[in-house]
């Protein structure tokens, strides 16, 4: 089915475009706004397919980029739908701002509603909506592959708006497919990553920007012994394509790694600190309120505060139903589950590409601890 792809200039939207170009012969119409150009949108898609070794066999003319003005009326897409015989909308756009309620409402709810109106006007065969695995909010049971009643508190306003958008999609009367990926990190094979510094990349980037100015004998990290639900970008891309190909309409799928080998927040932080920060002592905390008040290193406190929201989310023991994903695996889906070893692959890539961290490692080599001592603070 020819597709209208919303959000092609984003990280996940670009991966979706790459997966569709590689796995089908459909036409993809991609509206773009702002400073984006056809080449700026295609560049990361080309690079992803080059890394997969298939760029030479892909016809990039099958992705049609259409500039839209900043004040464009989305109903102007009607003519494009008819011209290219579009039968499905793939909605990967949205805001991930944790705190801007107005922006979240406009990008995640209002835009979704307008696109659903477009789908209804043209009797689309399917509306594919990219949500998040955490749209349930904090609950003490497995996250089911069904609409959430919203009985739990939300980590952020973002998860609430995604849950509300899911309900819009499911109750629209348009056949739908809702995909809920967990936190997407770099490729499991070589660690490449072109997304924004979210999740564990937020911590690595904060270290790079705040703590490479000098060596620190003590490192303070919020890192509970709780498994972190992460998926690699190659798993996300493969899972998205397989779900679109094999799952029936009106399906919801949690795109998550199997829990057996998932790393904990403690394991991920310890792996980074022992290999990169290399302090004499490592102080581990379960939550920000456990952090010692006498830490007078301003940059260290900035890092802890900057990553506080993600640290809070990481402390929740998320569990997920994966019925749909198990079905896709049985049909041949190659889905690389995340482990501490595959996170190390991504970490190594990040460190290799960071001039600041490379300079930090070279400058402080003689000061590094062979094995830092560890101190548990506020940990039962």
Q: What is the mean pLDDT of residues 51-63?
A: 91
Nearest residue to 94 (alpha-carbon basis) of 25, 164, 149: 164
Q: Specify the pLDDT at position 333.
A: 96
| pLDDT category of residue 274 using cuts at 50, 70 and 90 | very high
What mean pLDDT is predicted for residues 291-295? 76
Query: Tell me, what's the pLDDT at 314?
Result: 83
Question: Is 285 a member of any domain?
Answer: yes
Task: Say whether both 253 and 274 belong to one domain.
Answer: no
Query: Do 244 and 283 belong together in one domain?
Result: no
Residues 214 and 131 in one domain: no
- CATH code of 253's domain: 3.40.50.720
Averaged pLDDT of the chain: 92
Q: Which domain holds residue 48?
A: 3-185+230-258
Q: Kindly state whether residues 253 and 362 are assigned to the same domain.
A: no
Q: Is residue 344 part of a domain?
A: yes
> Does residue 118 surpass a pLDDT of 70?
yes
Shared-domain flag, residues 105 and 244: yes
Q: Are 136 and 48 found together in one domain?
A: yes
**In sequence order, what DSSP letters do the residues of 65-111 get, joined into one string?**
EEE--TT--GGGGHHHHHHTT--EEEE------SS-HHHHIIIIIIH
Structure confidence by residue, pLDDT tens digits, 198-245: 889 999 999 999 999 999 999 999 999 999 999 999 999 999 999 999
Closest by Cα among 228, 215, 219 to 374 = 219
Per-residue confidence (pLDDT) for residue 348, from 0 to 100:
98
Q: Which pLDDT band holds residue 6 (cuts at 50, 70, 90)? A: very high
The pLDDT of 29-33, averaged and rounded, is: 90
The share of the chain scoring above pLDDT 70, in percent, equals: 97
Q: How many domains would you assign to the chain?
A: 2
Output DSSP code: residue 263: P
pLDDT at 379 over 90: no
pLDDT for the residue 97: 73
């Amino acid at each position: 089915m020819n597709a209208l792809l919303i959000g092609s200039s984003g990280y996940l939207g670009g991966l979706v475009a790459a997966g569709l170009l590689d796995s089908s012969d459909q036409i993809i119409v991609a509206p773009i706004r702002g400073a984006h150009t056809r080449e700026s949108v295609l560049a990361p898609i080309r690079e992803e397919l080059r890394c997969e070794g298939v760029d030479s066999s892909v016809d990039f003319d099958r992705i049609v980029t259409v500039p839209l003005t900043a004040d464009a009326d989305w109903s102007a897409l009607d003519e494009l739908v008819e011209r290219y015989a579009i039968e499905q909308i793939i909605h990967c756009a949205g805001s991930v701002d944790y705190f801007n309620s107005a922006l979240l409402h406009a990008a995640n709810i209002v835009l979704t509603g307008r696109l659903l109106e477009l789908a209804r006007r043209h009797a689309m065969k399917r509306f594919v909506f990219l949500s998040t695995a955490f749209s349930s909010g904090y609950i003490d049971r497995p996250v089911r592959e069904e609409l959430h009643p919203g009985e739990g508190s939300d980590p952020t306003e973002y998860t609430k708006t995604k849950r509300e958008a899911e309900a819009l999609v499911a109750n629209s009367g348009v056949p739908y497919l809702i995909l809920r990926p967990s936190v997407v990190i770099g490729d499991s094979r070589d660690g490449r990553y072109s997304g924004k510094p979210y999740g564990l990349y937020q911590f690595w980037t904060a270290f790079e920007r705040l703590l490479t100015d000098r060596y620190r004998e003590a490192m303070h990290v919020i890192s509970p012994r709780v498994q972190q639900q992460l998926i690699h970008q190659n798993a996300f891309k493969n899972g998205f394509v397989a779900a679109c190909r094999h799952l029936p309409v009106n399906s919801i799928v949690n795109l998550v790694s199997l829990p057996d080998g998932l790393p904990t927040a403690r394991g991920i932080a310890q792996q980074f600190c022992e290999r990169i920060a290399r302090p004499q002592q490592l102080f581990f905390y379960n939550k920000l309120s456990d952090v010692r008040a006498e830490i007078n290193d301003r940059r260290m406190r900035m890092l802890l505060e900057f990553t506080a929201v993600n640290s809070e989310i990481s402390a929740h023991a998320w569990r997920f139903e994966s019925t749909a994903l198990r079905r896709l695996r049985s049909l041949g889906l190659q889905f690389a589950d995340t482990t501490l070893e595959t996170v190390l692959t991504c970490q190594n890539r990040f460190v290799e590409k960071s001039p600041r961290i490379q300079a930090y490692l070279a400058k402080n080599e003689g000061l590094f601890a062979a094995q830092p001592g560890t101190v548990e603070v506020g940990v039962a």
